[in-house]
Amino acid sequence: MKKLIFGLIVLAMVLSMTVVGFAADKPKIGVLIYKYDDTYISTVRNAIDKYGADVLDITMQDGKGDQATQNDQVDVFLAKGVDALVVNMVDAAAAQGVVDKAKDADIPVVFFNREPAADVLKSYEKAVFIGTNAADAGIMQGELIAKIWGDGSVYDLNKDGVIQYLMFQGEPDNPEAIARTEYSVSKAKELGLDMELANEIIVCNWDTACAQSSMEALINKGANVELVIANNDGMAEGVINALVADGNNTGEEDAQVIPVVGVDATDAAIELITKGKMAATVKQDGDAMGKAIVDIVLNVATGKAPLDGTEYEFDDSGVAVRIPYAPFDIESVEK
């Protein structure tokens, strides 16, 4: 009996050391997020945790929207000897500094969502980008606007044949925001709509509260608005809160509706579409983004080629993987 007990103890110790050994073998990944409270980025964070839990030793840091803070976090991760960095830049224009630090440390770096310039990525053979094609979201918004507007009989409040619209932009110098702003309108015009900006572009840095207060101010001024385009669903939600408070977009059958179109297809946006308060959005697949990040960073952290054993492909740049967008409206909910 004593021998049996002793044998079981030894077996337990061996198994314990084996488990510890496997845990220690997980590549150490430092993940830097531009801002935790961004709704879409939260879906990507959750996906990274979900898909990476069993294969990666992940530590995340919140940049809180401050590039200097994020730069310090890069230094800390490199000092701790991570096997790879995953970076959602606060300011994509500052990416060269991150690349240079990773290169000096000979550590792979995977950027996502906020795209550095191609020449920055190409300055280091161990740098890649995972994201979307920025123009596509705007193009799909324009197509959705044309679909929603139809002949204009429902939403053309002043019956002038022109769409008086508002544009809520993410950041003034963010390439993704700029592309969404430009292509949503140009595509709608290409499809035959007469678009007129009812107010100067409203920059709200992706923020719901900013969009709500800005929309409330415009409503109080009596602005003539027939359509709202937002670079993301967070700002779209803020706009809708203001509209509902003014008696519009309540989801009731006789309520006046001002179509609001966003980007991301967040849970909140899908609920607003279901309730008839929001017209449409463009799905940016955070779960697919998170899975791609895990698959690719696992490769580079273990010395493999970024796309080894995956179904992903680089675009024409040779350094970027694109996760496709998809239009999303009430028909998408009903499928």
Q: What is the DSSP string of 210-225?
A: HHHHHHHHHHHTT---
Q: Which of 235, 234, 160 is nearest to 201 (CA)?
A: 235
Residues 84 and 179 in one domain: no
Provide the pLDDT for residue 18.
38
The CATH number assigned to the domain holding 93 equals 3.40.50.2300
- Mind listing the pLDDT tens digit for each residue in 78-91? 999 999 999 999 99
Residues 175 and 95 in one domain: no
Question: CB–CB of 262/206 below 8 Å?
Answer: no
Question: CB–CB of 232/141 below 8 Å?
Answer: no
- Mind listing the pLDDT tens digit for each residue in 114-125? 999 999 999 999
Task: Please state, in angstroms and rounded to a whole number, the distance separating the CA atoms of residues 212 and 208.
Answer: 6
Task: Please state, in angstroms and rounded to a whole number, the distance separating the CA atoms of residues 46 and 43.
Answer: 5
Residues 48 and 72 in one domain: yes
What is the rounded average pLDDT for all residues in the chain? 93
Sign of CA dihedral 5, 7, 11, 14: positive
Provide the pLDDT for residue 335.
75
Two tokens, residue 79: 């000092």
Provide the pLDDT for residue 16.
43
Residues 6 and 23 in one domain: yes
Provide the pLDDT for residue 17.
38
Task: Please state, in angstroms and rounded to a whole number, the distance separating the CA atoms of residues 136 and 325.
Answer: 7
Higher pLDDT among residues 221 and 6, named by residue: 221
Provide the pLDDT for residue 5.
52
User: Does 6 fall in a domain?
Assistant: yes
Residues 251 and 170 in one domain: yes
Query: For 45-55, what is the mean pLDDT?
Result: 97
Query: For 3-25, what is the mean pLDDT?
Result: 47
Say whether pLDDT at 20 is over 70. Answer: no
**Contacts for 333 with CB less than 8 Å, ≥ 6 apart:** 270, 273, 274
User: Does 335 fall in a domain?
Assistant: no
Provide the pLDDT for residue 333.
85
Amino acid 284 reads: Q
Domain that holds residue 246: 135-284
Two tokens, residue 300: 């580079």
Mark out the alpha helices in the chain (DSSP H runs). Answer: 2-25, 39-52, 67-80, 95-105, 118-121, 134-149, 175-190, 208-220, 233-245, 267-274, 286-301, 330-334
Give the distance between the most distant pair of CA atoms in the chain: 94
Provide the pLDDT for residue 25.
87
Query: For 285-312, what is the mean pLDDT?
Result: 97
Question: CB–CB of 319/121 below 8 Å?
Answer: yes
Residues 120 and 66 in one domain: yes
Residues 262 and 310 in one domain: no
23-37 per-residue burial string, b: 16 or more CB within 10 A, e: under 16: eeebbbbbbbbbbee
User: Does 269 fall in a domain?
Assistant: yes
Say whether pLDDT at 9 is over 80. Answer: no
Sheet holding 320-322: strands in order across? 57-62, 28-33, 84-87, 109-112, 127-131, 320-322
Residues 29 and 45 in one domain: yes
User: Does 331 fall in a domain?
Assistant: no
Task: Please state, in angstroms and rounded to a whole number, the distance separating the CA atoms of residues 145 and 178.
Answer: 18
Say whether pLDDT at 21 is over 90. Answer: no
Provide the pLDDT for residue 24.
57
Q: Into how many domains does the chain fold?
A: 2
Say whether pLDDT at 221 is over 50. Answer: yes
Say whether pLDDT at 255 is over 50. Answer: yes
Question: CB–CB of 99/107 below 8 Å?
Answer: no
Two tokens, residue 298: 């696992």
Residues 52 and 35 in one domain: yes
Amino acid 196 reads: E
- Mind listing the pLDDT tens digit for each residue in 148-202? 999 999 999 999 999 999 999 999 989 999 999 999 999 999 999 999 999 999 9
HSE-CB of 269 using CA atoms within 13 angstroms? 28
Burial of 302 (0-12, 13-18, 19+ CB in 10 A): middle
Percentage, residues of the chain above pLDDT 90: 89
User: Does 334 fall in a domain?
Assistant: no
Residues 312 and 231 in one domain: no
Place 334 in a pLDDT band, splitting at 50, 70 and 90.
confident
Residues 95 and 217 in one domain: no
Residues 319 and 201 in one domain: no
Residue carrying the six token digits 């200097």: 68
Provide the pLDDT for residue 6.
46
